[in-house]
Chains A and B, each alone.
Chain A
Amino acid sequence: DAGVIQSPRHEVTEMGQEVTLRCKPISGHDYLFWYRQTMMRGLELLIYFNNNVPIDDSGMPEDRFSAKMPNASFSTLKIQPSEPRDSAVYFCASREGRGVAEAFFGQGTRLTVV
């Protein structure tokens, strides 16, 4: 397996624009996580899914953020409208749902909102 795949790797957008980040988890993994990493706040869990169903979205900062998982092999994180304070690295990770399963991370998307 190629691991967790995120796209794009870098995104620069203007304030007010819609941004969509994409993730393909490892095949067979039951759980998918979206994290945001910033210098000030570290690594924050935004939302996670189990079998394509959102389980906990309490970390989503506000209504401008939304996430979907239409099938087991694809998820999106959308920000609309984007603001400069959304600038961060966004990571997607996936995990099996049994045993002491670790999360496998993608390479991240570095988002810059100007």
Chain B
Amino acid sequence: AQSVTQLGSHVSVSEGALVLLRCNYSSSVPPYLFWYVQYPNQGLQLLLKYTSAATLVKGINGFEAEFKKSETSFHLTKPSAHMSDAAEYFCAVSVSSASKIIFGSGTRLSIRP
């Protein structure tokens, strides 16, 4: 069975600082990995996904994530935080296009002025 663990339920950074949100996965087969963002009172929307074509994946709004098989990690980063990045971020895993998608517990990102 697959699973994801997000370290840190709440991360706070200053505007302009580096954002690092951590995600570790567990899967018996090569996984599909996703990062989603949720703004208040809205559904989840895709930030980026790992397709195995490249280990460094670029997404929307300046976010990127790096797949590291040796560390079973898929951490999300952004070089410079913006106030509009404040939201909840979810890492998710799936083992195929025909299987369910399992979400981590989420990390709330706060941005300090």
Contacts and interface: CB of A to CB of B under 8 A. Distances in A.
Interface residues of B, number: 22
A50 B32 contact: no
A102 B51 CA distance: 11
Interface in A1-43: 4, 31, 33, 35, 42-43
A85 interface: no
Contacts of B106: 42-43
A108 B41 CA distance: 8
Interface residues of A, number: 27
Nearest to B44: A105
Given A42-B106, A102-B34, A56 B100 contact: yes
Contacts of B105: 42
A100 B43 contact: no
Interface of A: 4, 31, 33, 35, 42-43, 45, 48, 50, 55-56, 91, 93, 95-108
10 contacts: A31-B98, A33-B100, A33-B101, A35-B103, A45-B102, A91-B44, A95-B97, A95-B101, A98-B97, A100-B49
